[in-house]
């Protein structure tokens, strides 16, 4: 079996949160392979610790992926502030005799350094076309946990576990490895909080993660972290606004100062995303769908809503509303430009992470979340058949059947984009219903 087949068999998907099946991403040719180790979401601490703990495995997995796509160069993007990790990576690249191919590139501590298109620009100077993907400029980007999983796949080990940071206004900040399918509540309780009535939980980083309506879900291969905050925290209140409330507030108060546009990371790399125009569309009920198409260019980084707008409005929500409306009419964005260049003042409009953290009211919680061994061994896991971009996996086990950890329990439907799933504990299948395969530990 070649490495691409091993990656496919191991059920690897983008561990950074996007969930795109990795075998499909690697079935191409690229000039650069890029490792996304930026981890720009405040408070999350997975990638930086994985690179410190498993440098050889990550470098080898990354190199193998680079060879697979016939890359000329493999670039690791990591924030310059992680000095120890950078020295370690450089030392191990040297020791593994890969310094002709793998290079560590330092990134500024800004948000959103880990946005795929921003990362490509920072490391190669190339601008991914509007509504495009990195391969259009000869780049393939994978996350550091994905590279670790590629290494494991090369050793015959599928994805059955996930690394997760638990952060926020809690007694125990930590990063843990748990079986895929573990009940979210069991993971949240590692925070030292047992009763969540007065808390809200953000699924993922504080910038892009949504506030969870229910805490009774299960860990997926895409889970990256949970930020637990008191219900009355300003970030929770801001993120919990309903779309119709956001629309009403947007209509009433936008002063068209265009700060949201001037700081928009996608606008700054030369795309036409101009959220103040989408606010104008909402405010004056404008009907020019030609202009509205730019709403497709938003990467939902949330910078405009959570930092840029001086009066606390919701430009991203305006984008999403307009985009939804266009999608319902089957109106798509067709890029016209062939050449892109970053705006001249981009370098002066970068947002330092520290400033962002202070603005979000997270300064007191910006603390280490060390990798910790726990005795969390869930009795039952519920593994979603669709944790990825593409078609749901087809269960290949039945209730009553005994499965081993690492055994494939769901396969990719014939001819579809998708990812296989595997048992994350050894036990007996209880049910295959409602989009989950549930296993009880032996
Ligand atoms: S949404 Fe906010 S930042 Fe954007 S134009 Fe309106 S007032 Fe200015
Ligand atoms: S969320 Fe706002 S700042 Fe981010 S890309 Fe969209 S419009 Fe730009």
SS (H, E, C) the chain: CCHHHHHHHCCCECCCCCCCEHHHHHCCCCCEEEEEECCCCCCCCHHHHHHHHCHHHHHHHHHHHHHHCCCCEEEEEEECCCHHHHHHHHHHHHHCCCCCCEEEEEECCEECCCCHHHHHHHHHCCCCCCCCCHHHHCEEEEEHHHHHHHHHHHCCCCCCEEEEEEEECCCCCEEEEEECCCEHHHHHHHHCCCCCCCEEEEECCCCCCCECCCCCCECCCCCCEEEEEECCCHHHHHHCCCHHHHHHHHHHHCCCCCHHHHCCHHHHCCCCCCHHHHHHHHHCCCCCHHHHHHHHHCCCCCHHHHHHCCCCCCHHHHHHHHHHHHHHCCCCCCCCCCCCCCCCCHHHHCEEHHHHHHHCCCHHHCCCCCECCCCCCCCEEEEECCCCCCCCCEECCCCCCEECCCCEEEECCCCCCCCCEECCCCEEEEEEECCEEEEEEC
Residue 300 pLDDT level (bands cut at 50, 70, 90): very high
Which ligand has the nearest atom to the CA of 295?
A: 2
Region 330-355: what's the mean pLDDT? 94
Which ligand has the nearest atom to the CA of 267?
A: 2
Domain with CATH 3.40.50.11540 in the chain: 3-154
Pocket flag, ligand 2, residue 298 (CB < 6 Å): yes
Nearest residue CA, atom 2 of ligand 1?
Answer: 309
pLDDT value at position 18?
A: 82
Pocket flag, ligand 1, residue 245 (CB < 6 Å): no
Tens-digit pLDDT profile for residues 374-416: 999 999 999 999 999 999 999 999 999 999 999 999 999 999 9
- Under a CB-based contact definition with an 8 Å cutoff, are residues 369 and 166 in contact? yes
pLDDT at 288 over 90: no
Residue 1 pLDDT level (bands cut at 50, 70, 90): confident
Pocket test for ligand 1, best of 251, 257, 283, 320 (most atoms within 8 A of CB): 257
Region 16-24: what's the mean pLDDT? 91
Enter the tokens of residue 100.
Answer: 């002709």
Q: How far is CA 134 from CA 12, 295, 340, 364, in A?
A: 19, 20, 14, 36
Fold observed for domain 160-233+361-376: Ubiquitin-like (UB roll) (3.10.20)
Pocket flag, ligand 1, residue 259 (CB < 6 Å): yes
Q: Which atom of ligand 1 is nearest to the CA of 257?
A: 8
Enter the tokens of residue 353.
Answer: 């992470």
Pocket test for ligand 1, best of 252, 264, 275, 303 (most atoms within 8 A of CB): 275
Nearest residue CA, atom 8 of ligand 1?
Answer: 257
Residue 285 pLDDT level (bands cut at 50, 70, 90): confident
- Under a CB-based contact definition with an 8 Å cutoff, are residues 43 and 4 in contact? no
Enter the tokens of residue 204.
Answer: 């993922």
Region 143-156: what's the mean pLDDT? 97
Q: Which atom of ligand 2 is nearest to the CA of 319?
A: 7
Q: What gap in Å lies between CA 83 and CA 145, rounded to an integer?
A: 19
Q: What gap in Å lies between CA 310 and CA 45, rounded to an integer?
A: 29
Fold observed for domain 379-442: OB fold (Dihydrolipoamide Acetyltransferase, E2P) (2.40.50)
Residue 255 pLDDT level (bands cut at 50, 70, 90): very high
Residues 345-376, buried b or exposed e (16+ Cβ, 10 A)? eeeeebbebeebbeebbbeebeeebebeeeee
pLDDT at 336 over 90: no
- Under a CB-based contact definition with an 8 Å cutoff, are residues 13 and 19 in contact? yes
Pocket flag, ligand 1, residue 258 (CB < 6 Å): yes
pLDDT value at position 162?
A: 97
Q: Which atom of ligand 1 is nearest to the CA of 308?
A: 3
Region 343-352: what's the mean pLDDT? 96
Write the CATH number of the domain with boundaries 3-154. 3.40.50.11540
Region 168-194: what's the mean pLDDT? 98
Region 177-206: what's the mean pLDDT? 98
Which candidate, 436, 434, 349, 347, places its Cα nearest to that of 397?
A: 436
Domain with CATH 2.40.50 in the chain: 379-442
Region 366-376: what's the mean pLDDT? 96
Q: Would the pTM of this model clear 0.85, i.e. be above it? A: yes
Q: What is the whole-number distance in angstroms between the Cα of residue 10 and the centre of ligand 1?
A: 46
- Under a CB-based contact definition with an 8 Å cutoff, are residues 310 and 259 in contact? yes
Pocket flag, ligand 2, residue 274 (CB < 6 Å): no
């Amino acid at each position: 079996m070649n490495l691409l087949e091993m990656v496919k068999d191991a059920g690897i998907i983008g561990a950074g949160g996007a969930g795109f099946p990795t075998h499909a991403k690697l079935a191409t040719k690229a000039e650069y392979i890029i490792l996304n180790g930026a981890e720009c979401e405040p408070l999350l601490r997975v990638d930086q610790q994985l690179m410190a703990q498993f440098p050889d495995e990550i470098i080898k997995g990354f190199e193998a992926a680079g060879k697979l796509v016939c890359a000329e160069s493999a670039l690791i993007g990591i924030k310059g502030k992680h000095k120890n990790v950078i020295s370690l990576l450089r030392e191990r690249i040297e020791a593994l005799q890969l310094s002709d191919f793998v290079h560590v590139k330092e990134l500024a501590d800004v948000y959103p350094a880990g946005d795929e298109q921003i990362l490509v620009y920072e490391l190669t100077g190339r601008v991914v076309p509007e509504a495009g993907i990195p391969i259009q400029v000869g780049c393939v980007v994978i996350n550091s946990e994905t590279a670790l999983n590629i290494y494991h796949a090369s050793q015959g080990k599928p994805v059955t576990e996930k690394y997760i940071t638990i952060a926020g206004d809690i007694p125990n900040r930590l990063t843990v490895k748990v079986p895929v399918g573990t009940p979210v509540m069991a993971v949240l309780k590692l925070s030292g909080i047992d009763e969540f009535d007065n808390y809200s939980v953000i699924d993922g980083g504080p910038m892009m993660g949504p506030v969870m309506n229910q805490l009774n879900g299960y860990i997926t291969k895409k889970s990256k972290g949970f930020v637990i905050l008191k219900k009355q925290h300003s970030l929770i209140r801001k993120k919990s606004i309903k779309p119709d409330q956001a629309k009403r507030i947007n209509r009433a108060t936008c002063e068209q100062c265009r700060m949201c546009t001037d700081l928009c990371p996608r606008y700054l790399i030369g795309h036409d995303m101009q959220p103040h125009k989408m606010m104008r569309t909402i405010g004056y009920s404008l009907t020019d769908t030609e202009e509205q198409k730019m709403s497709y260019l938003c990467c939902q980084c949330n910078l405009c809503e959570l930092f840029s707008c001086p009066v606390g409005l919701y430009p991203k929500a305006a984008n999403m509303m307009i985009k939804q409306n266009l999608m319902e009419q089957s109106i798509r964005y067709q890029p016209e430009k062939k050449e892109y260049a970053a705006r001249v003042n981009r370098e002066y409009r970068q947002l330092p992470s520290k400033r962002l953290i202070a603005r979000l009211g997270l300064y007191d919680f910006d603390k280490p979340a060390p990798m910790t061994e726990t005795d969390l061994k869930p009795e039952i896991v519920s593994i979603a058949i669709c944790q990825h971009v593409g078609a749901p996996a087809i269960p290949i086990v039945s209730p009553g059947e005994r499965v081993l950890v690492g055994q494939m329990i769901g396969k990719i439907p014939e001819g579809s984009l998708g990812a296989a799933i595997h048992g994350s504990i050894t036990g007996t299948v209880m049910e295959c219903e409602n989009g989950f395969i549930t296993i009880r530990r032996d």
